[in-house]
Amino acid sequence: MQQKFIINGGRALAGTIEVRGAKNAATPILAACLLTEEPCVIDNLPLIEDVFRIIEILQSVGARVEWLGQRRIKVQAKGIDPKKIDQDKVCRLRSSVLIMGALFSRFDNFKISAPGGCLIGSRPLNTHFAGLSELGAKISQDNGFYQVGKTKLLSGASARKIILREFSVTATENVMMVAALKSGRTSLRVAAAEPHVQELAIFLNKMGAKIKGAGTHDLEITGVKKLRGAKHTLMPDPIEAGTFIVAAAATRGRVEIKNVRIEHLELVLEKLKEMGVNLLVGSNSVKIKPSARFHAAKIQTLPYPGLPTDLQAPLAVLCTQAEGASLIHDPLYEGRFKYINELAKMGADATIVDPHRAVIQGPTPLYGKEITSFDLRAGATLIIAALVAEGQSTISDIYQVDRGYEKIEERLAAIGADIKRANND
């Protein structure tokens, strides 16, 4: 049954909130458990829909999954069969594209559905296919499915160079997983450097892979014959941390956000300071105090260590409360701005200039309205807007939010938000 959030805004948040494990690290690491027949133990999992779905996909191919605690599981992918994969689950989850690389490392031939995910614009897999083809993959498309096979091309090459067509996080992760078990040495250029890509490299190296350069745009991967099981504790989620920081600031609250990996948010924190946010950065926490006023800013998303695209929408809410004209520029996705029209419904002076740019003039009061969550980050953004707004807001299609934020309404309510979950009428 579809559900909604009902939020009565105008309350300053106050208290302490803790960040959960990183969604964008959990999904590739769970997929990487398919690379070995030995058991892998993953800890600090966020209890979110995307994690549950990828676990179900692992189980559908025959992986044994055992919960060892609330956030700790053991995965053993012995005797798996790609023919049994739950294609319906695959087509609902964007990160299921990572299953392709994991299965390709173990099987000569299999079929997989095109992945789903947020509707944030065109998200072609050309970069994936080009990278994997350099590692011997032959991929064809047929009626919504991808048929993946192997060629003898480059199978005996001792060294190869792959240049990705863009800074694609999941393409980087797929190539890393395949190259880890591919004989010879792979040089990967234009690699993504995001924290969750680094996290996957750490996990693969624990499994026995030989990956150097994680955190840069140039990776060197020396293939090994076999990977072993490994244990890993997921890093805290920088996007969730940034979301809570912005929510606290926008409501002019007094909140301590704990379990923050500061080095993953350095530029975000600098941008918030530039906008006038009153914050104190600790070793693994950020404290927010009420700000007298906010300043307009230019928000431009860039590959890491630039501002993450997943935080431009929450920052836009802060721009509605800032003095002057703010420019939001997201050069990667042309569908990220659906939330702008929802903010405008609430009273924001916000305009979409073109598919990649929006202008927000502030400050303007926001008012409670019936609004829709079009994607994961837009949903979190509209929650922040509703917390700021005067009156009651209803946010529909909140499954999108559940995909990436664990019980967000309970955690926000614990720091003073008037928010509840309800079934649609």
Tens digit of each residue's pLDDT (9 = 90 or more) over 318-357: 999 999 999 999 988 777 899 999 999 999 999 999 999 9
Q: Is the dihedral of CA 149, 177, 98, 336 positive or negative?
A: negative
For residue 67, the cross-strand partners are 73
Of 360, 258, 338, 265, nearest in space to 308 by CA = 265
The 10s digit of each residue's pLDDT in 60-93 is 999 999 999 999 999 999 999 999 999 999 988 8
By percentage, how much of the chain surpasses pLDDT 90?
Answer: 84
What 3-state DSSP class applies to 313? helix
Prior bond to 305 cis, omega within 30? yes
Active-site residue flag, 33: no
Residue 154 in contact with residue 185, Cβ under 8 Å? no
Residues 175 and 386: their CA atoms lie apart, in Å, by 41
| Percent of all residues in the chain with a pLDDT value above 70, rounded to a whole number | 96
Exposure string (b/e) for 55-94, b if CB count within 10 Å is 16 or more? bebbbbbbbeeeeeeebebbbbbeebebeebbbebbbbbb
**Interatomic CA distance for residues 422 and 293, integer angstroms:** 34
* Averaged pLDDT, 96-110: 92
Higher pLDDT, 134 or 142: 134
> String of b and e for 203-233 (b: at least 16 CB within 10 Å)?
bbeebbbebebbeebebebbbbeebebbebe
Helix H or strand E segment including 258:
strand 254-258
Of the candidates 33, 40, 118, 319, the residue annotated as catalytic is 118
Judge whether 59 and 85 are in contact, CB under 8 Å: no
> Residues 363-422: pLDDT tens digits?
999 999 999 998 898 999 999 999 999 999 999 999 999 999 999 999 999 999 999 999
CATH topology of domain 23-233: UDP-n-acetylglucosamine1-carboxyvinyl-transferase; Chain (3.65.10)
Selected from 3.90.226.10, 3.30.390.50, 3.65.10.10, 3.10.129.10, the CATH number assigned to the domain covering 3-20+236-423 reads 3.65.10.10
For residue 203, what is the enclosing H or E element? helix 195-206
Give the tens place of pLDDT for each residue, 176-188: 999 999 999 999 9
Residue ranges, CATH 3.65.10.10, the chain: 3-20+236-423, 23-233
Rounded average pLDDT over 233-244: 98
